[in-house]
Structure 1
Amino acid sequence: MHVSHPRKGDRRAGPGAGSRTRSGVGWKRWIAPAAAVGLLVSALSAGPALAQSSAGQAAADRGKPVPAGCPWMDTSKSPEKRAQLLLAASTLDQKLRWLDEQAANNPTQTTFNGVTYPAQVPCTPTVAYADGPDYVRGPNGVTIFPAQLALASSWSTELATAKGKAQADEAFRAGRNGLLSPQITSARTVLDGRITDSFGEDSLLSGDLAAAQTTGIQDGNADEPVMSVLKHYVANEQELDRQTSSSNLDGRTLREVYDLAFQIAVSKGNPAGVMCSYNQVNGVYACENPILNNLLKAGGWSGYVVSDFGSVHSTAPSLNAGLDQELNRPIYYTPANIRAAIDNGSTSMAQVDSAASRVVTAYIKTGLFDHPLPATPAASVTNAANQKVAEQIAEQGSVLLKNDGGILPLTKKAKTVAVIGPTASKQATNGVSAATVCAIKNFGPPTACPNVVAPLDALTERAAKAGATVAFDNGADPAAAAAAAAKADVAVVFGYEIQGEGADRTSLSLDGNGDALIAAVAAANPNTVVVLETGSATDMPWLSAVKGVIQAWYPGEQGGTALARLIYGDANFSGKLPITFPKSLADTPTNTPAQYPGLVNGSPTRPAGDKSIRQVSYSEGLAVGYKWYESKGIEPLFPFGHGLSYSSFEYSKLQLAPAVINKANKSLKVSFTVKNTSSTAGSTTPQVYLTLPASTGEPGDRLVSFDTVTLKPGESKRLTVTIDPNAVDRPLSYYSTAANAWVTDPGTYGIAVGDSSKASLSATFTVNR
């Protein structure tokens, strides 16, 4: 199975790049030449923070003098014992401070939104949260990383760890030691406004990348401790009416599709906290739903649960269900409300003590008690090392969807290049520029990227080195853009759409008349390459008329540099789609109004003044993402896992051992050979899919392993993957609501291996009872 361990030195591009393979039960590292691996290694190791393990830091902290009257500051004691000592010295109202974010995180303040608490016990830290799936939101002078969907397209746990480390470094120096990140959704609908803030449609890919990013955040900088708060739990799959909608689904779908990625992430990454979501789940708000205790905490995770801002709707029901902390100001978790709930018996002191203990223990475990925030936060925290990580994500996260006739990489034959479209330039056209699509929109106007490297500037500089010239047209007039394209050897046209928190998309079309612009350019120049800067899938009505398509997502501030390197072949494409691209909305799993957007009193449109809960039917069940398209026989525009390269790869010699799995022999070894059949060194991501017997009712295949192998021209590697039935993602099992357990049926199982969900090799094995 794929394990989220950081692996230093993955360059993944160009001649001389290293390789890695799997053999036996785990992946073995093949060391690449220093010149090939230097970029990511420097990004991982550079910066002001010393990279130590949590255990190493704990050892370094031992022996520190314990402040008088603060026995919970004795670092020789366990976090649990320290929390116990602190709470034993606390009054009830001091305990209740931990149950509200503002009161917990501001120990010297006593009044919050008109609610007064006593002063907190001494020797407690200032804690400051920042939102931050893609970058540290709030402070100025931070690195703007590409959107999470770009990171997901790299399929690289190493890169996810590097990003988490870089984010945490910047957060701490900017005066923040809690990151509300990473975010998981299941990409149930490609219209979801925040799909770009997450890792796509597959539970294993999402869970592994979230765990890796969490590891980078919490363990990457020992002297700059930052907590990770995973969000939003659970079945939070649309922005429309997110506070007034109910995600209605059966128990098996909840466990296998929407809960599983969180289970993987908390098991492998152990985030300090998890944030519950706005929506209801089967008619009960997520933050007061028994799923918090029954699912999230039942697996042994011991962190704390914090609400989203304004997602709490009760006091005792929320506390009893497992909500430990109310985000922002106290509303339902005020001392008066909780004291009244204790007095009337609707909750208990034991619940209060448990909640406070989980919060305090998480803060201590993460290092917040022992490493205070800087007295004066830095005005600017970005640096060259973190910018390199941003560039690396943009490079490895860009996906080459189409490359007919080898139009890319551009060669010296392309003497003139027309660059077209407003998002290619720093100069705004009708309010749109390269900065507009740098990152996801976070309410209001799009994020400003003051240090964005515009594709036009990077391409112009790189073209000059190839002896070529670049002409730019902003695309405001498609006829003028077509005329500019007609004069060039190659046209590179940029299309965009803007989305983010607060609203869903309403179509798969590009914004700014982008589809018409691309069609006009393609009609004028047969050598047209499209660069898409979007947060989700688009339908591409012009696809057959263009030779090349690059999915760049929201590429962050270093996106222009990465695109120029890719387009000119200084780097090789290796990105793979983390979501399926449909041909039309009619082909998607949520193609009825009851499924999306859901119904308000039987209507998809909410009447003015109606505050009823929108009922969203998850009637597609398990058939989400690529499982839907495979089980329904629907051909997508581009399948999950798809992504081309300047190299070509051949898969062969698939073998499974043993042929029969029983009680005495539970693991399965999947071996296959990957060969680079081209003259260009490159990387590919072998993907292993498993099909359950028909008796299980499981639709399509499921991803059970992935990782990247880098091969020189003509080089081949024999890879072996071990499938462990008892791994956290339960690859051979389905969830039985009748048995309330994961169950493995006897029968014939299928294995498929390839470079997308349209895998090229297949074989079967048998599971005996």
Structure 2
Amino acid sequence: MTLITNSKNFDVESLIKELTLEEKVKLISGVDFWHTAKIERLGIPKIRVSDGPNGIRGTKFFNGVPAGCFPCGTGLAATFNKDLLFEAGQLMGEEAKAKAVHVILGPTCNIQRSPLGGRGFESYSPDPVLSGFASAAIISGIQDKKIAATLKHFVCNDIETERSSINSIVTQRALREVYLLPFQIAIRDSNPISLMTSYNKVNGEHVSNSKYLIEEILRDEWKWQGATMSDWYGLYSLKESIDAGLDLEMPGPPKMRKYDSVQHAVNSKEIHLKILNKRVENVLKLIKYSLNSGINENDPETSSNNTPITSLKLREIASESIVLLKNDNNLLPLKPADKIAIFGPNAKFASYCGGGSASLLSYYSTTPYDGIKSKADIIPEYTLGAAAHKMLPGLGTQLKRDDGSVGFTMKIYLKPRDYQGDRNFVEQLNLNSSYMHMVDYYNSKILENDLIFYADIEGYFTPEEDGEYEFGVAVVGTALIFVDETLVVDNKTKQIFGNTFFNQGSIEEKGRIVLSKDKTYKIRIEFSSGKTSILTKGLDPGNYGGGGIRIGAIKVFDPLAEIAKAVEIAKKNDKVIIVSGTNLEFETESLDREDMKLPGYQDQLIEAIVAANKNTIVVNQSGTPVEMPWIEKIPAVLQAWFAGNEGGNAIADVLYGDVNPSGKLSITFPIRLQDNPTYFNFNSNNGQVLYGEDVYVDYRFYEKIDRPVLFPFGHGLSYSNFTYDNLVLSINESSDLLIAKFELKNNSDRSGKEVAQLYVSQQKPSITRPIKELKNFIKVSLKAGETKKIEIKTSLKYATSFFDEYYNDWCSESGTYNVIIGKSTENIQLVESFQLKETKHWSGL
């Protein structure tokens, strides 16, 4: 028997022969939230997986090791820079090594059918080609560092409402041309080692049970041989999922693949041993690949990658993601001597990531206010202007400990505060996060106590102003908030279910108290773990673990009076910056957005400020589109996404021209929510969602019905001016190659980058097709006055084909096609046509 120490002596076939049935069953499910099973007898190590899409969290939702945070998916795609995305993937690989993570659960390449999708920010684009190329570049970068990437969520995981049961009803053509295509491109170009199935059903069948999707398309047609895993708690069967090709149930301990159940199914010949062995084989291949990373299963999680080099790369990526939407009269870039006022909910709040699996504790965060302040000669004036929060702003960083440090203490006991004897102290934690999801909080003492524990959370709060303050708490468990021993919030004796903590928690209960400026108050919160609450009856304790608590506080203010205050400040300054947007409360996993509007009084603030100062600049931070009813009045607008650790600095770099903006919109911004193609069918109708727009997603829809938009797909301005000329096409059907050659010139005195977008349109198709479709793009750096000869290559069959439902394969139809080179879908620069002489059908990659 050979013990496994590295990939070279890891013989998968030999190992399968040596494994007992019990050991095989262990390997096809996780042992906990983040690890596969270890088979010590044969030296098979456990491997570690971790979220995610915009940063590597590690193994902790609660009190984790800080990590680097990248821009959100839509922001990464907005760079339109494959080389930079490859470098982003490499940095993700380095971050994974710091967290001793073998497998990254990302990238996410689902399609934003609607601006309201809760995880829309996490995906790259509603365009399958941009999404596919972005995914491939990041996967290639991750795997360049010998870390396995996990392409997710396969497939049609495009709505969060009832996501574990929702049935996505979609035509085969739309499934192929829009929803499967980004996976197809990513597998073709980067061969991800792993793939995660989605929670939902597609046409009546859960994807994790679908032999059609996993075996027939993914493995037989695309010839992909990696490992498949379920989304967390996203496995719904035993035999069906094993037969369908789902290799690994996550997390563990398993709900479906328990030894007794699998043993019975194998012994009764319900599950064929050959099929079970194939599932084991794919998991072993994943483990074998992971040994190349050099990570030992006992390596600690660290923040060792928090270096100046990491910060610079994150700043570069964030800067290239920012899109200059509007810049009338060259109001931007700013000058350091400009006297500036700054308002808005995201000005002094670092909205660096969305919610759910994509959220993490970052190394640090930078705010737009601090970034701008660092470049301005005069310290900018500030007031909030308008708030944007569903729940009260986090209390954690508003508190201080006894030693004056920012945050609070959490003392954990096995007995409640009113217990008369020894409370059995467990440990003390020093924290500053207002959101404590203790699903993965483990301590040997509380495990022995059946996950029941009690915590005293204590810190000191010093108000900056006299007035009434509102405190709030949401829990999985129970909680009471005391201010100087006065009970202010009761979320224990009265509790109402809400949508907090992945729909496991209560609503936020609130209470108010009058406080005095500069007086220090002791805040004490009594928290009891998940099992102490009546709300958790009937819920799976594997989902909520130790429970969770989220604490918040804010001074109560009159929104209109706050706007009036901002207006008076705006009148005294040369220019005004409003940092608007959403945050991780509004754009988050497990919850779809209610509308496309800026939360709170932000629209009123913007209207009032621009009326007082015409030199108003709006910097919007959101992961997906927002309505902008004031757009005609505002001369300059930036879309800055959730931009990661370095978001505040990157915004300032672009505002002041230290970075010439080069981002392009990865998604269309419609004028109103009602204008988007899914307005009537982005919802659950008794557990079903109809993909009624078919292949007409995003710009395909707006162009087909000639509906105006706020800003088109691919749009983005620069401080430079670029011109295109002399398009020449080269077509080679035998080598499947389409080459577009043209000249690109920078007609300005400033170096910059331009994204040239290649679209293809069929002139007289035999079926109804979109006006044009993106097929490739290139980002080019040009010095002031420089001209470059540009060449964009793409697959001819991918560029010309539609999915033919009659033949059940792809069809590249004879006829005349236009190649369209543009700055966006609406800003077309060059057009040239070519002929295909012969119709061809094809399948595979």
CA distance in 2, matches of 1:438, 1:170: 17
CA distance in 2, matches of 1:749, 1:177: 45
Does the aligned pair in 1 maintain the 2:800–2:812 contact within 8 Å?
yes
CA distance in 2, matches of 1:680, 1:369: 42
Does 2:624 match 1:536? yes
Structure 2 unaligned spans of 5+: 387-561, 839-845
Does the aligned pair in 2 maintain the 1:439–1:556 contact within 8 Å?
yes
**Equivalent residue, structure 2, for 1:251:** 172
**Equivalent residue, structure 1, for 2:385:** 475
**Equivalent residue, structure 2, for 1:629:** 702
**Equivalent residue, structure 1, for 2:776:** 705
Does 2:15 match 1:90? no
Does 2:635 match 1:547? yes
**Equivalent residue, structure 2, for 1:511:** 599
Does 2:718 match 1:598? no
Does 2:450 match 1:525? no
Does the aligned pair in 2 maintain the 1:490–1:525 contact within 8 Å?
yes
So what's the TM-score if we normalise by structure 1?
0.81
Shift of 1:664: 5.3
**Equivalent residue, structure 1, for 2:578:** 493
Shift of 1:124: 1.6
CA distance in 2, matches of 1:174, 1:274: 21
Does the aligned pair in 1 maintain the 2:33–2:250 contact within 8 Å?
no
**Equivalent residue, structure 2, for 1:65:** none
CA distance in 2, matches of 1:332, 1:458: 50
CA distance in 2, matches of 1:525, 1:196: 32
Alignment deviations for residues 515-543 of structure 1 (CA, whole Å, 9 cap, x no partner): 11111111111000000011110110111
Does 2:67 match 1:142? yes
Counterparts in 2 of 1:472 and 1:249: CA distance versus 1, 3 Å? same
Counterparts in 2 of 1:410 and 1:370: CA distance versus 1, 3 Å? closer
Q: Which has the higher strand share?
A: 2
Does 2:318 match 1:394? yes
**Equivalent residue, structure 2, for 1:315:** 238
Does the aligned pair in 1 maintain the 2:340–2:577 contact within 8 Å?
yes
CA distance in 2, matches of 1:684, 1:74: 45
Shift of 1:292: 1.0
Q: Which amino acid aligns with 1:176?
A: V
CA distance in 2, matches of 1:685, 1:547: 23
Does the aligned pair in 2 maintain the 1:416–1:490 contact within 8 Å?
yes
Does 2:579 match 1:654? no
Shift of 1:620: 1.1
CA distance in 1, matches of 2:568, 2:755: 40
Q: Which amino acid aligns with 2:20?
A: T
**Equivalent residue, structure 1, for 2:741:** 671
Q: Which amino acid aligns with 1:83?
A: V
Does the aligned pair in 2 maintain the 1:397–1:552 contact within 8 Å?
yes
Shift of 1:362: 2.0
Does the aligned pair in 2 maintain the 1:72–1:86 contact within 8 Å?
no
Shift of 1:374: 4.9
Does the aligned pair in 2 maintain the 1:217–1:227 contact within 8 Å?
yes
Does 2:651 match 1:563? yes
Counterparts in 2 of 1:75 and 1:272: CA distance versus 1, 3 Å? closer
**For 1:249-328, what aligned pairs fall within 5 Å after superposition?**
249-290=170-211, 291-298=213-220, 299-328=222-251
Does the aligned pair in 1 maintain the 2:136–2:187 contact within 8 Å?
yes
Shift of 1:700: 2.3
Shift of 1:107: 7.4
Does the aligned pair in 2 maintain the 1:277–1:286 contact within 8 Å?
yes
CA distance in 1, matches of 2:360, 2:23: 39
Shift of 1:331: 1.2
Alignment deviations for residues 122-165 of structure 1 (CA, whole Å, 9 cap, x no partner): 32222121111011123322112221211111011222222222
Does the aligned pair in 2 maintain the 1:97–1:103 contact within 8 Å?
no
**Equivalent residue, structure 2, for 1:690:** 760
CA distance in 1, matches of 2:133, 2:661: 22
**Aligned mate of 1:158, from 83, 89, 110:** 83
Shift of 1:575: 0.3
CA distance in 2, matches of 1:387, 1:102: 35
CA distance in 1, matches of 2:119, 2:176: 22
Does the aligned pair in 2 maintain the 1:272–1:366 contact within 8 Å?
no
Shift of 1:88: 1.5
CA distance in 1, matches of 2:117, 2:35: 35
Shift of 1:279: 0.5
So what's the TM-score if we normalise by structure 2?
0.74
**For 1:25-104, what aligned pairs fall within 5 Å after superposition?**
69-70=1-2, 73=5, 75-76=7-8, 82-102=11-31
Shift of 1:694: 2.3
Count of aligned pairs between the two proteins: 650
Does the aligned pair in 2 maintain the 1:102–1:328 contact within 8 Å?
yes
Counterparts in 2 of 1:420 and 1:696: CA distance versus 1, 3 Å? same
Does the aligned pair in 1 maintain the 2:67–2:303 contact within 8 Å?
no
**For 1:413-424, what aligned pairs fall within 5 Å after superposition?**
415-424=338-347
**Equivalent residue, structure 2, for 1:232:** 153
CA distance in 2, matches of 1:587, 1:240: 21
**Aligned mate of 1:439, from 353, 364, 376:** 353
CA distance in 1, matches of 2:288, 2:830: 49
Q: Which amino acid aligns with 1:123?
A: G
SS across alignment from 1:463: coil
Shift of 1:739: 1.5
CA distance in 2, matches of 1:175, 1:720: 41
CA distance in 2, matches of 1:108, 1:238: 32
CA distance in 2, matches of 1:402, 1:313: 48
Counterparts in 2 of 1:545 and 1:449: CA distance versus 1, 3 Å? farther
Does the aligned pair in 2 maintain the 1:125–1:369 contact within 8 Å?
no
Alignment deviations for residues 197-228 of structure 1 (CA, whole Å, 9 cap, x no partner): 111111121111111111222222xxxx4221
Shift of 1:364: 1.0
Structure 1 unaligned spans of 5+: 1-68, 110-118, 426-432, 601-613
Q: Which moved more, 1:403-412 or 1:164-173?
A: 164-173
**Aligned mate of 1:766, from 812, 829, 835:** 835
SS across alignment from 1:493: strand
Q: Which amino acid aligns with 1:743?
A: C
Does 2:785 match 1:714? yes
Counterparts in 2 of 1:497 and 1:150: CA distance versus 1, 3 Å? same
Give the structure with higher Rg (CA).
Answer: 2
When the two chains are superposed, the root-mean-square deviation of aligned CA atoms in Å is 2.1
CA distance in 1, matches of 2:751, 2:719: 8
Does the aligned pair in 1 maintain the 2:124–2:666 contact within 8 Å?
yes
Shift of 1:665: 7.3
**Aligned mate of 2:103, from 171, 175, 178:** 178
**Equivalent residue, structure 2, for 1:11:** none
SS across alignment from 2:118: coil
Does the aligned pair in 1 maintain the 2:79–2:662 contact within 8 Å?
yes
Q: Which amino acid aligns with 1:623?
A: Y
Alignment deviations for residues 355-399 of structure 1 (CA, whole Å, 9 cap, x no partner): 110111122124358642453332654222222221111100000
CA distance in 1, matches of 2:162, 2:214: 22
Does the aligned pair in 2 maintain the 1:94–1:120 contact within 8 Å?
no
**Equivalent residue, structure 1, for 2:42:** 122
Identity %: 31
Does 2:831 match 1:746? no
**Equivalent residue, structure 2, for 1:411:** 335
Counterparts in 2 of 1:541 and 1:101: CA distance versus 1, 3 Å? same
Shift of 1:469: 4.1
Shift of 1:482: 1.3
